[in-house]
């Protein structure tokens, strides 16, 4: 099973297409995770 489908693949057993929506969704998820990590670090410094 493949995770990401390329445009030239004929397979149907994939989880994500390689398109704009998938890339934008991945960027949003990464940004949210980075903000959460930064918030945890900052709160740990402030609440010492």
Q: What are the residue ranges spanned by the domains of the chain?
A: 20-48
Rounded Cα–Cα distance for residues 40 and 34 (Å):
10
pTM score > 0.85 for this model?
Answer: no
More confident of the two residues 35 and 19: 35
pLDDT the model gives residue 21: 85
What is the Cα–Cα distance from 4 to 6, expressed in whole angstroms?
7
* Residue that the structure tokens 């493949």 belong to: 2
Per-residue pLDDT tens digits for 25-37: 989 999 999 999 9
């Amino acid at each position: 099973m493949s995770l990401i489908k390329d445009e030239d693949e004929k397979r149907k057993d994939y989880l994500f297409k390689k398109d704009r929506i998938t890339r934008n969704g991945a960027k949003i998820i990464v940004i949210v995770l980075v903000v959460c990590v930064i918030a945890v670090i900052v709160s740990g410094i402030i609440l010492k």
